[in-house]
Structure 1
């Protein structure tokens, strides 16, 4: 059973009375709706773990950010990729040099720690992250002893940015030896090669399925087709890439624009006949195509490999798009085309030559992982979480559930002991706070609150309002965080415009990482040597 959590006031329902203990069997997965890849990996992990009989609770980290900043962070990231990709490249490289992230991101993540900790339900046996920001928060909670159950990170990218490798995370799960090696080089602990997390619908198609898919999407029956994708947002140079694929004569472009409907309309107006918006039949499109051309190296690339479709990286977006293309190329599962004059030769070699055969063998090998599937590692960690109580800040924290199910007993301090100043897993802070209320998602996909009727709309619930008086300290803290972030965003926006006028990308590095005016100069081409 998969449950979607929401953060609400914990006072509504007292914890169950203690009973005979058994090992905890509940996994919490934290992702982030920054595009569709992190959520897609979380959904497939949840499906596999739930199918094995372990309860799963999922959270979107953006819903837990303070002052309702999640949507602003997501929108800012989207706009950066769409309108100022060179700025994102500078930020990505600066964070890489800094070993993770800039001070603004670290401040925001620290402000989220208690909110995420309070959201974890009693009886949690393991916590899994599919987003690097969540890994940073969970690793910090593990390091200072406030979170006493195992934390695992599933690396959704094929390349590993330092932001992914958080101190305190117990296990890192990788799809291939290349990202596993990068994670180890960055200091990751207990790295395991577990293969991609692609859904069961992504499998090699039969000739009849290929014909039916082409007919369903109105595609030519016999022409070689290149499926051009750019994630759920449709960002990057899709217009140029589609025209260049068509000009090679090696394949006919079929462009998937995600939720960017305006781009699909522009492409059709410019003669790219087969341009589609969002579709739920991605396996069907892959069965219809002969090659996938991608620019980000995310989950879609792995889904294509699962269907037996060769993959080519071209006109990659900055940051993770470039590093993922390099890692996929190193692994031998996707050719990286660096320039337009290489595109035709590469497509021909993938479609009709030995390059396509080698990629197919390497891609299929991904799905026979050396260390078993990721769900096995996660369920194993969850099963081992009930070894006994752990003491944190003077509180005995139990990771066992009552025999009848439900939530575990509230951890108790030793006789007349002082309650900790910060929350511990399973123990709400004194005077209120937030806790997780699971929401059951049945096979139909609608949300069913415990004991209630199905509610229409999205399966993931957003944080609900918290009734009752809010503590003044909490109000002041939220106000301070909001002001700080607003100031930082304003400074960043002014800096971006200033840098655009003066052609000085080094200014953005100074703003995001050092706040040091000496890191840039106005009339040069970059930072001072």
Structure 2
């Protein structure tokens, strides 16, 4: 294990030591995301922007769409269906995906049957030097086609705390993860993998939010009133309407974000007509300002947590995302300035009121600057022969 430019790098690559592959160079990159929520797309955007700053050309592909037509929609429908049945996704994740059970192997083989031809065509059409898989389906397919494209370098980037079996494949040159726990889960399946632990990248607007006073003035929220931001990913998972009603009933202003969930957005709008301390939003790019206006961010585990920490807001976490979401919730609690609550309105409101009593924003204790990610990403690229000067 070595420290290079702030990056923890562990183990040699399975394909040998890539540090001597070539001199520093730039090229063309393909980022393989997946359209389940927004987290994968946000990470793909961050990697693409960083590569572009280094003189690369970067494009993004959707691994689910590579399944083809109805198969991609069916994949999302199956995932949503598992989330809707209490305990089902937990069972699949903890007994199969985290351990590499037979069902995990079946999922991998079935998805690759469709994604591999599409990926092969993409790589044949557009010469590519680097593929970064930010979705497990893309990682599996890339491993299968790598040998057909001499010189192709492959990487995987996962922000999950416990990287499950579908992320880890023989032909991956580099794994980017955001915790030492994740690095060890990679090595559970690939003991000799090259792993770099990097900060979670955060989008630029979060580093330059308005002041709390400015944000509240724009929203019409009194400066001395308690205020929380309530959101749960782009799907709006969990009882957000009931939670918003209970919080506002306790005298708290609630900035309630539905994400891309149009049905939830309509319900929040209707609630706001009755309870005027609820301020509803659908899908919005104003999250930095909403965080700035709030005293506390109530959300599910995910990359939103890193954004809140950059702005300087403590977290109250909803335990609503099963499987990998429960793993990631524990990671966020360990990182600090976060509490967890049950999702029934009474428990959530009690927890929120207690947090508001203890926490007075902003907190500068956990915020990091954008250079931390850039330096770590640069050092990681150097490990696979793509050192850059930017």
What TM-score do you get using the length of structure 2 for normalisation? 0.79
Q: Counterpart in 1 of 2:56?
A: 54
Contact preservation (8 Å) 2:29, 2:59:
yes
Q: How far 1:139 moved relative to its partner?
A: 2.5
SS in 2 for 1:53: coil
Query: Does 165-174 or 39-48 show the bigger shift?
Result: 165-174
1:381 aligned to 2:384?
A: yes
Q: Counterpart in 1 of 2:291?
A: 286
For 1:149 and 1:293, how far apart are their aligned partners in 2?
A: 42
For 1:320 and 1:283, how far apart are their aligned partners in 2?
A: 26
Query: Does 371-380 or 61-70 show the bigger shift?
Result: 371-380
Name the count of aligned residue pairs. Answer: 357
Q: Pick from 223, 234, 237: which aligns with 1:235? A: 237
SS in 1 for 2:207: coil
Structure of greater Rg? 1
Q: How far 1:67 moved relative to its partner?
A: 5.3
Q: Which runs of 5+ in 1 are unaligned?
A: 1-21, 385-529
For 1:111 and 1:264, how far apart are their aligned partners in 2?
A: 35
SS in 2 for 1:234: coil
Q: How far 1:227 moved relative to its partner?
A: 0.8
For 2:385 and 2:67, how far apart are their aligned partners in 1?
A: 26
Contact preservation (8 Å) 2:99, 2:164:
no
Give the number of the structure whose residues are more often helix, by fraction: 2
Q: 1:382 to 1:124 in 2, by over 3 A?
A: farther
SS in 2 for 1:202: helix
Q: Counterpart in 2 of 1:107?
A: 110
Q: How far 1:134 moved relative to its partner?
A: 0.9
Q: Counterpart in 1 of 2:197?
A: 193
Q: 1:141 to 1:155 in 2, by over 3 A?
A: same
Question: Root-mean-square deviation (CA), in Å?
Answer: 3.3
Query: Does 148-157 or 33-42 show the bigger shift?
Result: 148-157
Q: How far 1:229 moved relative to its partner?
A: 0.9
Query: Does 116-125 or 225-234 show the bigger shift?
Result: 116-125
Q: Pick from 43, 68, 71: which aligns with 1:69? A: 71
Cα displacement string for residues 467-515 of structure 1 (whole angstroms, at most 9, x for unaligned residues):
xxxxxxxxxxxxxxxxxxxxxxxxxxxxxxxxxxxxxxxxxxxxxxxxx
Residues 281-430 of structure 1 mapped to structure 2, 5 A cutoff: 281-295=286-300, 297-338=301-342, 343=348, 346-347=351-352, 350-353=355-358, 361=365, 363-364=366-367, 369=372, 372-374=375-377, 376-378=379-381, 381=384, 383=386
What TM-score do you get using the length of structure 1 for normalisation? 0.60
Q: How far 1:115 moved relative to its partner?
A: 2.0
For 1:187 and 1:329, how far apart are their aligned partners in 2?
A: 27
Q: How far 1:31 moved relative to its partner?
A: 0.6
Contact preservation (8 Å) 1:24, 1:124:
no
Q: Counterpart in 1 of 2:257?
A: 256
